[in-house]
Amino acid sequence: MNILDRYHAMEYGPAPEARNEADAWLAARDFGRALFIGGDWKAASGGKTFETSEPSSGKLLAKISDANAVDIDAAVAAATKALPKWSAASGYQRAKVLYAIGRAMQRHQRLFAVLETIDNGKPIRESRDIDVPLAIRHFIHHAGWAQALDKDFPGHRGVGVVGQIIPWNFPLLMLAWKIAPALAAGCTVVLKPAEFTPLTSILFAEICERAGVPKGVVNIVQGGPEAGVAIVNHPGVQKIAFTGSSEVGKIIRKATAGSGKKLSLELGGKSAFIVFEDADLDSAVEGLVDGIWFNQGQVCCAGSRLLVQEGIADALIAKVKTRMSRLRVGSPLDKNTDIGPLVDLTQLDRVKGLVAEGARQGAVCWQPDAALPSSGYYHLPTLATGVSPANILAQEEVFGPVLATMTFRNTEEAIELANNTRYGLAASVWSENVNLALHVAPQLKAGVVWVNGTNMFDAACGFGGYRESGFGREGGREGMFEYLTAKLPLGPVIKPATTSAQPVEQPDGDTIDRTAKLFIGGKQVRPDGNYSLAIATAKGKLAGEVGLGSRKDIRDAVSAARGAKAWPEATAYNRSQVLYYLGENLSGRAGEFAARLTELTGATPKAAREEVEQSIERLFLYAGLADKFEGRVHQPPARAVTLALHEPVGVVGIVAPDSSPLLGLISLVAPALAMGNTVVAVPSERYPLLATDLYQVIEYSDIPSGAINIVTGRSAELAGVLAKHDDVDGLWVFADAETCAKAEAESIGNLKRVWSGNGRSLDWASDEAAGDAFLRRAVEVKNVWVPYGD
């Protein structure tokens, strides 16, 4: 074929990236001593190794040290030894180290890119132009956070030794996402890369040596499941940061329950790519290529569900097929390649199996007529049409180059289809009407929404999910909070409730019997089981009886909270006024509540009055903050702004303590309500009459029905029911240690956000038991990317 023929055919010749430097680096390394612990290179104590191979050919690249629990002990010991000096270093000192890492990576960025492509299989254009530059950006960006820490995060310090486990789809970038903020916060690190892709982490460890990272601050241990389990379970680790599958994330959540470890999980996704009829279809198609075929679809936020408005569906699908037929599948080191191999044969077999099952369930799977390379783990880009919402290709994360397509008629149906998944990581909205796009974005249950774009990332902008896509954020201000801790004012150790064993004497004289009901959906209702719980005064006499709530009552309360749309949809100013009114009405009955506190707890009249006044003050505090605890606007180095929106978590279950029973309850309920959440509260088991006395105050304070629901009963039992309920989005538990641990362990059904006191109460009267620390737990941060310009 001559030049003129090539011009008319518009075919590209091969443009291979040189790999000689990478091969020389591979040949010069002793990968049998690939564990970087305490600044030294070590072999695995058990002498085991694992193999890493080249996905494009299946050829062996290296045999890598396979760490075991003994090696993890050594790494944690090194990190623990280095922690005091590193955490005590000034922000400027840590900033210099982070900057040095970034600059050293810049000097070797081509080697990083080629190694990443050889080891992972992603096209060199992606490694060279996206992964490596963005990894460098994270270190230089977080150098700034290190120096600004005291000013921007007053009262916070690094959480301690951090265990980090990263996946194989973005080996270097995930490493940067994890290590950069940890070092900026003053933490030390034990990081385990994925077995499939260890090479760039080894090169990074060499960079740490050159950049002057103090010994033990960064420890990188290669290994498999044994090493990962050892990190998660190690008592010397104060935080676990994990990126990977939702299934493993649930195992980690359960394993860390009751340990007090801080936890962030960035898990799987099934992201919606929504195209409205007024979208620029050609731009949408190019966005779709980036959304689903970037990194062969091995992306947790891949736009793997195409939702297209009916009127343009045929036209868009035709354009997509035309574009797919021009995608180049081949060697990842060829600069013209669009789609490289999947990471391993096991991944290829999994993708093939899911496509076959999707076709069996009715999907029509189309692939372009293209030849695959004779060796390697390649899969053609696949378009599945006629996909029902229940089809496995619409519900399960394929993690391959497979696009499932569905149509919608109107905006409401598009939102419903987009949210019809257990995941909630990302979404993409395409429309030339910015009003429509910004109307849809807040209604999508996703931590990141891209408007007329996809797969946009930056170190200044948080990334993370809702639902089973995990919790916590990577990057930005919110990502820094994941590696910081603030001392909350601890109260006494909470002992298991003993109300059933309390002797209760009948009161003297003639009294009218009173049994308080539950408060569900804005009404007082009898408990489903028609059992009651006797409540004693401080002197052991009967103060009254309350309903003994059950699983059915919690179910009814959660249903009422889920259906209370008026509260989360109300403006922050409106919620503010209602909370002020609630405080005003409680103030009108302050004497009555103070007397009840004295009767039940034995507090002096002065102390009881102070607790009531502090409760009213808390309501006023959160009323005032309801319209002031707002999101931010980020300006990443791109033609876009990122709106970091604060959104309510959803339905929040609250299990309140016995200590300061009125103030403790209000200190938990008020911030949740202020941010637009609806609440199912289990009040103090020992002193629930203070909560039942609130019913009337709530009823005439303009709080919409279902916004707050109160179920009295056994705290431990009801906490477990809330933990297992998949329509509860968040759970705050201040109870005995066993109840807290069980709540965390049993929350894995939908990976709800759990805040536990770990068996300790708080000093609810202190200033630290109020404010931003509580409001941050009451919101999800959604980052909406809005591009601008031509």
Which of 232, 109, 261, 225 lies closest to 176 in space, CA to CA?
Answer: 109
Helix, strand, coil share of the chain (percent; to 5): 45, 20, 35
User: Does residue 296 sit in helix, strand or coil?
Assistant: helix
Tell me the catalytic residues.
266, 300
Residue 55, Cβ neighbours under 10 Å: how many?
30
| SS3 state of residue 372 | coil
Burial of 562 (0-12, 13-18, 19+ CB in 10 A): middle
Neighbours of 45 (CB within 10 A): 16
What does the angle CA 451 – CA 453 – CA 459 come to, to the nearest 5 degrees?
A: 95
Count the residues in the chain: 790
Strands (E), 388-527: 402-408, 426-430, 448-451, 470-471, 484-486, 490-493, 515-516, 518-520, 523-525
Provide the terminal-to-terminal Cα distance of the chain, rounded to the nearest Å.
38
Q: Which of 630, 632, 634 is nearest to 460 (CA)?
A: 634
Task: Provide the 3-class DSSP secondary structure of residue 365.
Answer: strand
Pairwise CA distance, residues 640 & 35, whole Å: 41
Furthest CA-CA distance within the chain: 110
Rg of the chain over Cα atoms, rounded to whole angstroms, equals 28
Q: Are strands 484-486 and 156-158 parallel, antiparallel or unpaired?
A: antiparallel
Q: In what order do the strands lie in the sheet with 542-547?
A: 515-516, 542-547, 532-536
